[in-house]
C-alpha cells in the first residue's frame, strides 16, 4: 500500500510539474531573438526554460535612464561574480530593433564592461513588444516614458515559477542581495566570518548630495577612486567653471546637442557613453556640487537626518 501511495504521489507531482511547464511555455512566447554576437536563439527554449534570469528592456540611443540602468546592472553583475552565467543569467532586450543591430548591442555592452552570462538581444519589433507585455515591462500610461519603457527588472526562476518585479536603478548591493536570495537562496560569504558590531565602521552622514551621488552617480563615477565608466570626479568643482558644471550635471544631453567642446571631448574619451539626463532640479544640482566639493576637501557631510 505504501508503495502504491508513493507511486500515485510521484505521478501527481510529475503531472503538476508538466502542467506548470506547459503554462510557462504558453505565457512566455518562444520567439526568435538575436544575441550581440549574431546567434539566433529562442526565448523560451534557449533563454528561459529551467533557468534563473534577470531581464530588462533597453535601447542604446536612450538619453534618459538606460545608461544608468546598464551601469548599475554591471555593478550587480560584478557583485554576483561567478553566479552570473552559471546560476543566474542576465538578458537585456532592445525596444529599438531597427537601430540596435547585434553589432550596436555588442559595442554598447563593451562600453559598460559587461562580463559573461549577460546577453543583449534584438529581434522583430512585434515579437519584442509581445515579450515586453508578457514580462510586465510595458506601460503606455507612464507619461514620463512615452515609448513604453520602464526602468524595471523582471527577476524569475522558470524552474520554480517564482517571479518578482524590481527597479533596475536601485542600489546595486541591494539588488545583488535581492537577486541572489530570491533566485538561489540566502547565503553567507564565508570570508565575512562572524564579526562583532563593535568592529563596524560608523555610518557617515550623506545628506541630500551624498544620497544623490550614491543613487544616481556612483554606478559610473568615483570621487578619488579612479575612473570607472565615467571620469573620477575628485576636484571637478575646482577644475570646471561652476556655471558650466551645473549645466552639464543638469542637461548633459543638451550640451552634447550643442556640440559643447568639453562635453564632446568627455564623450569621446569615455567610449561615447552618454551621461543620462536625470531630471535633476536646481536644488539637487547644488546639493551634488556641495557634496563633491566636501569630498574633495576631505570634509564630512552633514549628520544623517539633518
Alpha-helix residue ranges (DSSP H) falling in 30-163: 66-80, 102-111, 125-134
Asked if residue 178 and residue 50 are part of one domain, the reply reads yes
pLDDT at 3: 57
Count of domains forming the chain: 2
Separation of alpha carbons 48 and 64, rounded Å: 28
Determine contact, residues 142/304, Cβ cutoff 8 Å.
Answer: no
Asked if residue 137 and residue 35 are part of one domain, the reply reads yes
- Which of 159, 186, 213 marks a domain boundary? 186
Residue 7 counted as domain residue: no
Most distant CA atoms of the chain, gap in Å? 85
Asked if residue 142 and residue 272 are part of one domain, the reply reads no
Half-sphere exposure of 71 (CA within 13 A, CB side): 20
Residue 20 counted as domain residue: no
The per-residue b/e assignment along 247-266, b for 16 or more CB within 10 angstroms, e otherwise, is bbbbbbeebbeeebeebeeb
pLDDT at 211: 84
CA distances from 47 to 34, 35, 55, 59, 179 (A): 11, 11, 10, 20, 17
Q: How many other C-beta atoms are found inside a 10 Å radius of the C-beta of residue 201?
A: 5
Asked if residue 143 and residue 105 are part of one domain, the reply reads yes
pLDDT tens digit at each of 306 positions of the chain:
555 555 555 445 544 444 445 555 578 999 999 999 999 999 999 999 999 999 999 999 887 778 889 999 999 999 999 999 999 999 999 999 999 999 999 999 999 999 999 999 999 999 999 999 999 888 665 445 545 567 899 999 999 999 999 998 888 999 999 999 999 875 445 445 555 555 555 555 568 888 888 888 888 898 988 988 889 999 999 999 999 999 999 999 899 899 999 999 998 988 888 888 888 999 999 999 999 999 877 765 444 333
Asked if residue 273 and residue 177 are part of one domain, the reply reads no
The pTM of this model reads: 0.74
CATH of the domain at 148: 3.40.30.10
Range of the domain at 99: 27-186
Cell of 120: 543583449
Give the 3-state secondary structure of residue 138. strand
CATH of the domain at 279: 1.10.760.10
pLDDT at 216: 84
pLDDT at 140: 62
Amino acid at each position: 500500500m505504501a508503495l502504491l501511495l508513493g507511486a500515485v504521489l510521484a505521478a501527481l507531482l510529475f503531472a503538476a510539474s508538466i502542467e506548470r511547464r506547459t503554462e510557462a511555455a504558453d505565457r512566455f512566447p518562444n520567439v526568435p531573438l538575436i544575441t550581440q554576437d549574431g546567434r539566433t536563439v529562442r526565448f523560451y527554449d534557449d533563454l528561459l526554460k529551467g533557468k534563473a534570469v534577470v531581464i530588462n528592456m533597453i535601447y542604446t540611443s536612450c538619453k534618459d535612464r538606460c545608461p544608468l540602468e546598464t551601469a548599475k546592472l554591471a555593478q550587480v553583475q560584478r557583485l554576483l561574480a561567478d553566479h552570473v552565467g552559471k546560476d543566474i543569467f542576465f538578458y537585456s532586450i532592445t525596444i529599438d530593433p531597427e537601430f540596435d543591430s547585434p553589432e550596436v548591442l555588442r559595442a554598447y555592452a563593451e562600453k559598460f564592461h559587461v562580463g559573461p552570462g549577460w546577453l543583449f538581444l534584438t529581434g522583430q519589433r512585434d515579437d519584442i513588444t509581445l515579450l515586453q507585455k508578457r514580462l510586465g515591462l510595458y506601460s503606455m500610461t507612464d507619461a514620463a516614458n512615452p515609448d513604453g519603457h520602464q526602468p524595471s527588472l523582471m527577476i524569475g526562476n522558470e524552474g520554480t515559477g517564482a517571479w518578482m518585479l524590481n527597479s533596475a536603478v536601485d542600489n546595486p548591493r541591494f539588488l545583488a542581495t535581492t537577486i541572489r536570495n530570491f533566485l538561489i537562496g540566502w547565503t553567507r560569504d564565508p570570508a565575512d566570518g562572524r564579526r562583532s558590531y563593535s568592529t563596524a565602521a560608523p555610518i557617515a552622514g550623506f545628506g541630500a548630495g551624498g544620497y544623490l551621488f550614491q543613487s544616481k552617480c556612483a554606478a559610473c563615477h568615483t570621487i578619488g577612486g579612479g575612473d570607472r565608466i565615467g571620469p573620477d570626479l575628485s576636484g571637478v568643482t575646482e577644475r570646471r567653471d561652476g556655471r558650466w558644471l551645473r549645466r552639464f550635471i543638469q542637461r548633459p544631453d543638451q550640451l552634447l546637442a550643442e556640440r559643447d567642446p568639453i562635453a564632446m571631448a568627455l564623450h569621446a574619451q569615455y567610449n561615447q557613453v552618454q551621461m543620462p539626463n536625470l531630471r535633476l532640479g536646481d536644488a539637487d544640482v547644488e546639493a551634488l556640487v556641495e557634496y563633491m566639493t566636501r569630498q574633495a576637501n576631505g570634509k564630512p557631510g552633514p549628520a544623517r537626518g539633518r
